[in-house]
Amino acid sequence: MKVLTTTNARKSLGTIVESVRMTGKAVAIGRRNTPEVLVIRYPRYNPNLSDVANMAAVGGAFDFLYDEPDLYSDKDLKVRYA
């Protein structure tokens, strides 16, 4: 991952934001080649979910469910959570 100094990031913030938006590749900003913050593309936000659930979904916390068999249908659920 690319690590920029805070000085270089300050000078080219617009370019960094555009690059992350277009490529989806994160850029780290820090001091002495040590990342301190991460610039990432803003994820799609589902207003029906909490901030924690949105960030977990973006981070891949629920990806394992794609490999799980469908044990229940929508009719089996008593309360719809998402």
The pLDDT, as a whole number, for residue 65 is 78
The pLDDT, as a whole number, for residue 70 is 76
The pLDDT, as a whole number, for residue 79 is 67
The pLDDT, as a whole number, for residue 82 is 59
For domain 3-68, which CATH number applies: 3.30.70, 3.40.1620, 1.10.238, 3.40.1280? Answer: 3.40.1620
Q: What is the DSSP letter of 58?
A: H
The pLDDT, as a whole number, for residue 64 is 79
List the domain boundaries for the chain. 3-68
CB 4 within 8 A of CB 26: no
Mean pLDDT by 10 residues, the chain (82 residues): 89 94 91 90 83 80 78 72 62
DSSP string, 2-15: -EEEHHHHHHTHHH
